[in-house]
Amino acid sequence: MGKKFYLSIFLLISALWGNAQNSEEPRPADSVKYWKLDGISSVNLSQSSYSNWNAGGVNSIAGTAIFNVFYNYKKKNRFWDNRLETNFGLRNEESRGILKTDDKLLIESKMGRRANFGKHWFYSGAVSFNTQFAPGKSADDDSTIISRFLAPGYLMVNLGLDYKPNDRFSISISPLTQRTTFVYDQNLADAGNFGVEGAIYDDLGVVITPGKNVRHETGGFVRVEYRGPIVKNVKLQSKLSLFSNYLENPQNVDVYFENLLTFKVNKYISTSLILNMIYDDDINFEIDSNGDGNIDERGPRLQFKQVLGLGLSYTFSNHEED
C-alpha cells in the first residue's frame, strides 16, 4: 500500500506543477529573480572548569552547530519551497565523556499552485524526510543506545492546501498524508520502539519473529509556521505540526512544536535559543509511577528540549528583507 500511495502522490504533484508551468509565459532570463535564498549558520561554545570549588561542579566543554537553508521559488500562481535544517551538539564531561546534546536532519520540498477560490490559497503537495546523524544514549546508562540514524527516520508525503498570505507566515492543511517510520536498528525494532511492530519471543526470551523495521500510517496533517523578525535584531523560526493517524487512535494527535530564536549582537555574534516540545503517541518511555525504583508502566510523555548558546553566527540571503 505504501509504494502505491507514494507513486500516486508523485504523479499528482507532477501534474499539478506541470499544469502551472504551462499556464505561464516562460521567461528564462528573469527566472533567477523568482528564487529567494535565506539561511543561518552558527556555532555556539561553552566551557566550565573547577578546581577545589566548594560548591562542586563538573569540568566540561560543549558546542552546538546550526545550519538552516531555505531556497524558495515564487512566480504568479505557483511556488516551490525547499528547506534543509540541521542541528548538532556535543558536550564533553570529565566524568562521563562525550555526550550528544542536539541532533537533527530535516529535508523538505513542497510545490503548490494557486487555488481558484482565494488569492492566498494554494493546492499543494510536499515530501519531507527527518532523522538524526548520530546514536543517542540513555540519560541513565551510557551503554544503552535509544536512537540512531534511521532509528527513527520519518518520510512524510502529503496533499492538501496551503494558506500563504505572505512569505513569513503559512498554514498547511493536508487531509491526505502518508507517514512512514523507519527503525533500522534491530534491537530498537524488536522492542517495538517508535510505533513499529515489536518482536515475538518464546518462553525463554528468544526471538521467534523479529520486529518490523517499517511502519506506514495514513492520516491528516496540519502545520502552522512563522519565519521572520519579531522585533529589531530578533528573529523567530517557529513551526507547530499536528498529525493524526486515521486508522489507529485518531484522537491521539502527535504534536511537534519547534522554535529557534536568534538574538543578533552584531554581524557575526548572536545568541540562539532552541525550545522544542514533542508529544508522540508512538514514542513510549519506561515509567516508575510509584517511585519505588521499579518500572511498572510504558507510555508516551511530553518531551521538552532547550538549548541556549552564544557564539559565532552568519546569516545569508540573496534578497532584501521584506
Cα separation, 66 vs 43, in Å, equals: 7
Indicate the pTM of the whole model. Answer: 0.86
In tens, the pLDDT along 36-77 reads 999 999 999 888 887 777 766 778 899 999 999 999 999 889
Question: Which grid coordinates belong to 235?
Answer: 528573529
Neighbouring CB atoms inside 10 A of 270's CB total 24
Cα separation, 225 vs 108, in Å, equals: 14
Cα separation, 5 vs 8, in Å, equals: 5
Lowest mean pLDDT among 85-94, 137-146, 168-177, 212-221: 137-146
Q: 43 pairs with which residues across the strands?
A: 65, 312
| Residue 207 confidence class, pLDDT cut points 50, 70, 90 | very high
Instruction: Give the residue from 230, 287, 286 showing the smallest Cα distance to 261.
Output: 230
Does the pLDDT at position 13 exceed 70?
no
Cα separation, 110 vs 78, in Å, equals: 11
CB 77 within 8 A of CB 20: yes
Does the pLDDT at position 5 exceed 70?
no
Cis peptide before 229 (omega within 30 of 0): no
Does the pLDDT at position 16 exceed 80?
no
Cα separation, 240 vs 250, in Å, equals: 18
Does the pLDDT at position 29 exceed 80?
no
Q: For the chain, what are the domain ranges?
A: 112-124+131-317
| Residue 31 confidence class, pLDDT cut points 50, 70, 90 | low
Neighbouring CB atoms inside 10 A of 105's CB total 16
Cα separation, 117 vs 301, in Å, equals: 41
Q: Please, what's the b/e burial string for 71-86 (b: 16 or more CB within 10 A of its CB; e: otherwise)?
A: bbeebeebbbbbbebb
